[in-house]
Every structure is written in structure tokens, then in C-alpha cells.
């Protein structure tokens, strides 16, 4: 077995195992709904979030934009579980609140990486 095949097998068996590291969430993206796919959502603590800033304003030449953060979490999922689609930066993506939850939270897609079928999607809170 090649390394790439081993990693592809491990995407669901290890990294996105709903009994261990992942949870089942429904994802809405680009007019499609992907129900109960295994995801790992890493929500960042306020202290770890990257703050928005604008040069030329505020103390020290930057505006700390209190309460506004660029990235609020990182979503890991298999590209295959999103029908092979890779979300585009700036588009909106929705996740239900918890496994089986009926409420959805909307995020703006930040940076996206695809490593051998595993997506890493930075989520920016929109307040919606």
C-alpha cells in the first residue's frame, strides 16, 4: 500500500472517526446540504484568535478592533464528504450547532487547504 492510499484510508478511520475525534454535523455550502458528515471543529479561544487591525489608527498606529476576530475556528472534513467540492475563500458555509442540532451558524470561508483529501477550512464568524 502506498503512503497516499494509507492516508486516504485513515481520513475516516482515524482523523474523522466519529467515535473518537470527530462529530457528525450537517454542512450547507453552495446551495447543497451534506447531512451528518464527520467533521472536527476546532473553535479557537478568544486569546488565540487573530485580531483584525488597520494601520494608521489607534494606539501604536494600529486599530485593535476590539471584539472583532478574523478566524474563529477551523473545520476539518473529507473533501469527498462535500461531494468533492472545495469551498472557496469568501463564500459562506453553515454548520448545525451540534450533532443533530436544528440551528445553523453561518461562517465566511477563510483560507482553505486540501491535503490528500482532508480539507482544512478556516472559519470567520459573521454574527449570523
Residue 82 CA from chain centroid, whole number? 12
Q: Rounded to two decimals, what is the model's pTM?
A: 0.75
Q: What is the pLDDT of residues 37-95, one digit of tens each?
A: 999 998 765 444 454 445 545 555 444 454 444 668 899 999 999 998 999 999 999 99
Amino acid at each position: 500500500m502506498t503512503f497516499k492510499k494509507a492516508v486516504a484510508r485513515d481520513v475516516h478511520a482515524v482523523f474523522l472517526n466519529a467515535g473518537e475525534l470527530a462529530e457528525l454535523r450537517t454542512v450547507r455550502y453552495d446551495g447543497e446540504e451534506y447531512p451528518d458528515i464527520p467533521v472536527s471543529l476546532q473553535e479557537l479561544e478568544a486569546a488565540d484568535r487573530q485580531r483584525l487591525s488597520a494601520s494608521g489608527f489607534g494606539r501604536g498606529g494600529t486599530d485593535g478592533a476590539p471584539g472583532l476576530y478574523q478566524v474563529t475556528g477551523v473545520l476539518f472534513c473529507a473533501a469527498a464528504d462535500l461531494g468533492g467540492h472545495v469551498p472557496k475563500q469568501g463564500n459562506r458555509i453553515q454548520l448545525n450547532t451540534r450533532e443533530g442540532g436544528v440551528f445553523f451558524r453561518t461562517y465566511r470561508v477563510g483560507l482553505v487547504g486540501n491535503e490528500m483529501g482532508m480539507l482544512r477550512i478556516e472559519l470567520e464568524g459573521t454574527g449570523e
